[in-house]
Structure 1
Amino acid sequence: MIGDRIKATRKNRGLSMAELAFKTGFAKSYISSIERGIQSNPTIHFVERVASELGVSIYFLMQGATEEESRLLDKDWVVLVVEAMNYGLSKQEFREYLEMSNGMVRKGVNEFVSN
């Protein structure tokens, strides 16, 4: 969970929750709710700020990915996925949307070619 990774990294860096709150500009109570898993879907802005202050990638905080693994996805893709999650889309709904979009693009290309 993201909260566990934030807490472990914060402690490894020797930062208190109050210090991280001050440095990021987020309320200590909000950080606490993330770390304890009460709030499990933080905003991308929060993840970016905390990752920056802790000196880790957003990919590490979100997925536990190493730097090497995180290079597989650029920041824009991660932002899109987080936004989809924030809208409440399930993985299946996101897949269906992609499949529908792909079909529409193909149909548009085929109509253009046939005309």
Structure 2
Amino acid sequence: MFGDRFRHFRYQKRMSLDEIAGRTGIPKPILKEIEKNAIPNPSVFIRNKIATVLEIPLDQMLDSSSSNTYEELDEEWLKVVREAMESGISKEEFSEFLEFYNGGMIDE
């Protein structure tokens, strides 16, 4: 839902509801209701204002599949992935490592 993605990106940007309210002109109580999914479908105008302040493309805020990707990849995981990419390891090699690790070490 939009509220879940709103909360996710707000936390990611480390912004308070007060800050977003000040920048968008949307009252804080309304933002709280949107974030709790009590207002499941805010207007496009409100969604656009929120996305603009969060500096997130509106389509990304509306797309639940891209939001899930960001939830799964926190900063620590992004660092690990970047380091793996910079080390020159291929996707196949990394995948083989994961298969080996999962196959041999789960029960330990």
TM-score range, shorter chain: 0.5 to 0.7
Q: 1:59 to 1:28 in 2, by over 3 A?
A: same
TM-score normalised by L of structure 1: 0.54
Identity %: 26
Instruction: Select the structure with the greater relative contact order (CA < 8 A; seq sep ≥ 6).
Output: 2
Q: Distance in 2 between matches of 1:40 and 1:3?
A: 7
Q: Distance in 1 between matches of 2:2 and 2:60?
A: 9
TM-score normalised by L of structure 2: 0.58
Contact 1:59 1:65 in 2 (8 A): no
Q: Distance in 2 between matches of 1:56 and 1:33?
A: 20
Shift of 1:17: 0.7
Contact 1:47 1:58 in 2 (8 A): yes
The aligned counterpart of 1:86 is none
User: How much is the aligned-residue C-alpha RMSD, in angstroms?
Assistant: 1.2
Shift of 1:4: 0.6
Structure 1: runs of 5+ lacking an equivalent: 67-115
The aligned counterpart of 2:50 is 50
Q: Distance in 1 between matches of 2:56 and 2:64?
A: 10
Flag as ranges the 4+ runs of structure 1 deviating above 6 A: none
Q: 1:38 to 1:57 in 2, by over 3 A?
A: same
Q: Please tell me whether residue 2 in structure 1 is matched to residue 31 in structure 2.
A: no
Shift of 1:64: 3.0
Q: 1:27 to 1:4 in 2, by over 3 A?
A: same
